[in-house]
Structure 1
């Protein structure tokens, strides 16, 4: 199976938005909770803004010219991690291609991008467990290790 990966551009915002909405819908369905207030149009518009402002990047995987995977990330800084790091915000592979190696190759694409941008590491938060135990195992198999804690949030708007 030949998956073509590319660093996304502004013009790819609709593709990114669509895949991210698929991801968030899947998380909500599996956990039977509405973790996100998200819709396609506002997600696409937000993606356009973040990419054009240089605050957000993505890599898209395509199979037979159809988008099947996406990883979004941002660059930030952390003293505990030695400086510049990459934080994966969203990571999604179409269900029919899971366990085919697409996700592992997508992680490798992020690592390559990070090395080119002098990141000291990459970090991410997993979706809620136990529903996503398989996701946690996938990340560990691909070299990411748990460092403790849980993602926490408080809306400011």
Structure 2
């Protein structure tokens, strides 16, 4: 494990897209390895291009955690949504990832705090997140509960268009 005491968190820009996209690939690989299910199709070039587009159009807000000598070692992504049940605008966390060698150094907590602060500036009423499948990701659920999230019931469903 690499031990660092200095990390900065900053909002990502389009030039960060390739490094963040690579970490997205790591996140998806970790989920698929843990579940044994090929749940995602990942293409680095396409993801990089898509991410740069989303960032440039402010469809996706990304914050990266950078080590003093390591470049980006983690990130959180946010999207803005609107719903009557949420009483207006709210944020959703589609992805949160910290590279394994940098975990247990409060980076996840700091990234969530950054997301909360950002959401407050946008007037969001809440943040929502869906965890990867349980029980393989019980630790992820416990992390979010420690950060003030509560289970609201239901399951995430999707239908291809």
For Structure 1 versus Structure 2, the TM-score category normalised by the shorter chain is over 0.9
User: What are the within-5 Å matches in structure 2 for residues 2-151 of structure 1?
Assistant: 2-65=6-69, 66-151=71-156
1:40-86 deviation digits (Å, cap 9, x = unpaired): 11110110111122211100000124211100111110111110000
- The alignment of Structure 1 onto Structure 2 pairs a total of residues equal to 156
Query: What is the CA distance between 1:115 and its match in structure 2?
Result: 0.6
Partner of 2:85, secondary structure, is helix
TM (norm. structure 1) is 0.96
SS in 2 for 1:123: strand
Which segments of 5 or more consecutive residues in structure 2 lack a partner in the other structure? none
Q: 1:102 & 1:54 partners in 2: Cα distance?
A: 24
Distance in 1 of aligned mates of 2:158 and 2:35: 17
CA distance in 1, matches of 2:11, 2:56: 14
Q: Unpaired runs of 5+ in structure 1?
A: none
- The whole-number CA distance in structure 1 between the counterparts of 2:56 and 2:14 is 6
What displacement does 1:153 show?
Answer: 1.0
TM superposition shift of 1:10: 1.3
2:58 alignment partner, SS class: coil
Runs of 4+ displaced beyond 6 Å: none
